[in-house]
Amino acid sequence: MQKKQNLFIFIIFVLIACSPAVPAPEQPSVETIVAGTLQALTAAAPVATEVNGISFIDDNISFVIPTGIATSTIEEVVQAVPPSEGTPWWGVYPEHRQYHLEGYVLTDTFHQAEIYLYPIAEYVATNEDVGKNIETLKSLIANPNQALPERLPFLPTFNAGPMFYSNFGNITFQNGSGIRYVTEFSQFPHPITNNGMFYTFQGITNDGLYYVSAILPINVDFLVGYPTPTDQRDFAFIESEVLRVTDQLNNTSSDSFTPRLTALDSLIQSINVVGLP
C-alpha cells in the first residue's frame, strides 16, 4: 500500500509542476519506491586512465570524447536569468557554459548530449534550492560510503521529476570529483524508456568554485523507445515496471549499454576545469 501511495504522490507532483496556478515545489521529488535499491550501489567507478578520442580544449575546460561517442564539441555562453516575479525556480541560473556534443552516437533521444559548467557562488546566490543540492553533493563526495538520499543532486534544473535512479557510482575527474547515475525525468508517470533515459554526472572542482554536470543519453536493448498510451493510464503497471527495470538496469553490464557506461566514465574522468572569465 505504501508503494502505491508514493507513486500517487509523484503523480500529484508532476501535475502541480505543469500548473501555472500553483506555486512550484522547492525541489523535484523522486519516487521513494526505488530508495532501497540505491543503498547497495555505491561501488566506485573505474579510476581515470588515458582516453583515446577527440580532444576539446578552450579557456574554461578541456576533456576527451572517447572514440565513437561524438564527433565534435560546440561551446555556448548561456546568459544569466536572475530571479524575478513570474520566473519559476527552475528557470533561474547564472551565466554559465554549455558544451554540445555534436554527432552523438544516439539521435532519437529526448535530451541532447551536453556538458555544463556553472560558477557555484553565483548560482547559490540566485537560487536557494540549488544551494541545497550542492550541499548534498558535497556530503556524498566527502562520505562516499554513506546511505544514499532519496533525491540525488542534479543540475540543470528541470520542470519535471526524476522517475528512478540506477547504476550509481563515484567518479574523480582531473581536478574534482562527483557522482554518476542513470535516470529519466518526466512530467507524467510512465515506464522507463530509451527515448528519455540518460547517464548523468554531477561533480564539483576541488577548489569548490565550479559545478560540472553532464547529460549523456543511453539506450539498452531490453527497453522500448517511447511510452504507449496504455502505459500512461495503467498506474499499477507503471509502478511494477519502474521497480523491475530499475533492478534490471542495476544488474546490466557496462557493455550492454549504448554507449558503454565505462566509455562515458572515461569522458568524465578526462575533464579538467580551468575556470570562467
pLDDT tens-digit series, residues 128-183: 889 999 999 999 999 988 999 999 999 999 889 999 999 999 999 999 999 999 99
The pLDDT, as a whole number, for residue 78 is: 96
Per-domain residue ranges for the chain? 2-273
Of 201, 199, 209, 179, whose CA–CA distance to 273 is shortest?
209
Mean pLDDT computed over 83-111: 93
Q: How far is Cα 203 from Cα 55, in angstroms, rounded to an integer? A: 20
The pLDDT value recorded for residue 84 is: 87
pTM for the complete prediction?
A: 0.81
- Mean pLDDT across the stretch 243-271? 96
Q: Read off the pLDDT of each residue in 170-199 and give the average, rounded to a whole number.
A: 94
What local confidence, expressed as pLDDT, does residue 73 receive? 97
Of 80-89, 90-99, 152-161, 191-200, which range is least confident?
80-89
pLDDT over 90 percentage in the chain: 64
The mean predicted confidence, pLDDT, of the chain is 83
pLDDT in tens, 213-251: 999 999 999 997 776 665 556 778 788 889 999 999 999
Question: Of 37-46, 65-74, 134-143, 195-204, where does mean pLDDT reach its minimum?
Answer: 37-46
Q: What is the DSSP string of 17-77?
A: HT-TTSPPPSS----GGGHHHHTT--PPPPPP----EEEEE-SSEEEEEETTT-SEEEEEE
